[in-house]
Amino acid sequence: MKKEYWFIIITYISMQLSSIVGVPLFMLIGSSTGMTADELKVKSAAYWIVFSFFVALSLILFLMRNDMKEKMDRSTPASIPTSILWAFAGVFLALFAQSIAGYIEQMLGVESESENTQQLISLIYQVPIVIFVTSIIGPILEEIIFRKIIFGSLHKRFNFFISALLSSVIFGLAHGELEHLLLYSAMGFTFAFLYAKTGRILVSMSAHIAMNTLVIIFQVVYRDDIEKMLDTAQAFIGGLL
C-alpha cells in the first residue's frame, strides 16, 4: 500500500475519534450561550462532526490529488454514458441489497432501526447542516477509504469476490454496529461492484451519495407524512379485520 494511503487511513481514524476531544472543546467555547447542558452537548457534537469531516475531507482530497485520476487495474474504464447509467442503477442496487439484508436481519431477530442512523437524524433536527455531512462528505470519504484504497489495494492481490467481501466487512465493522454488519456489508459489496464494473470511483461515490440523500429525505423531510400514511393504513386494515 502506498505511503499516502496510510496517512489517509490515519486521518480518517483520527477524525472518527476526534470527538473525544472536540466535543468538550466546543462545549467549553459555547458555555456562555445560555443553552442547557443537554442542548449544548448535542449542538457541540453536531458542529464538531461538520468541522472534523470537512477538515478530514480537505486533507484527504489533497493527499489523493494524483490518485483520484487513476482507474482500476483495467486498460479502459467505462465510458461516461455507461458510468452515468451504472451510477443511476447503483442506487437501486444498493437499496435492493439493503432491503434483502434488512429482511434477513429481521428474520434473525435484529431490530430494523440503526442506532447510528437515528443518532445522525437527531443531530440533523438540531443542526440541519449535518445533512451535508451525512449525504455528501461522509459517502465521499467512505468511498475513498473503503473502495479506492482498501478494496483497490486488495483487488491487486485477490479476485473481486474476496476483495469485495473483505473490504465490505471492514466497512461494516467501521460503523460500530455489529448487529447490522450484514446490512452495511451488503451495501459495501454493492459499491465495490460498481467501482470494479466501471473502473471509476466517481460512480460508486455518486450512487452512495444518492442513496444516503434518499434515506435522509425519507427519514427527515417526509418522516411525519410517512408515519401518518402508515398509521392510516394500519387503521384501515384494522377496520377491515
Q: Which of the residues are catalytic?
A: 142, 175
Q: Cβ(135)–Cβ(120) under 8 Å?
A: no
81: its cell numbers: 454514458
- Helices and strands counted in the chain (H then E): 12, 0
Widest pairwise Cα distance in the chain: 65
Look at residue 29 and give its three-state secondary structure. helix
At which residue does the C-alpha cell 489517509 appear?
Answer: 8
| Cα–Cα distance measured from residue 149 to residue 137, given in angstroms and rounded to the nearest whole number | 17
Residue 229: what residue type? M
Q: Cβ(91)–Cβ(211) under 8 Å?
A: yes
Q: Cβ(216)–Cβ(139) under 8 Å?
A: no
Query: How many other CB atoms are found less than 10 A from the CB of residue 231?
Result: 10
Q: Cβ(182)–Cβ(105) under 8 Å?
A: yes
186: its cell numbers: 451488503
| Cα–Cα distance measured from residue 139 to residue 135, given in angstroms and rounded to the nearest whole number | 7
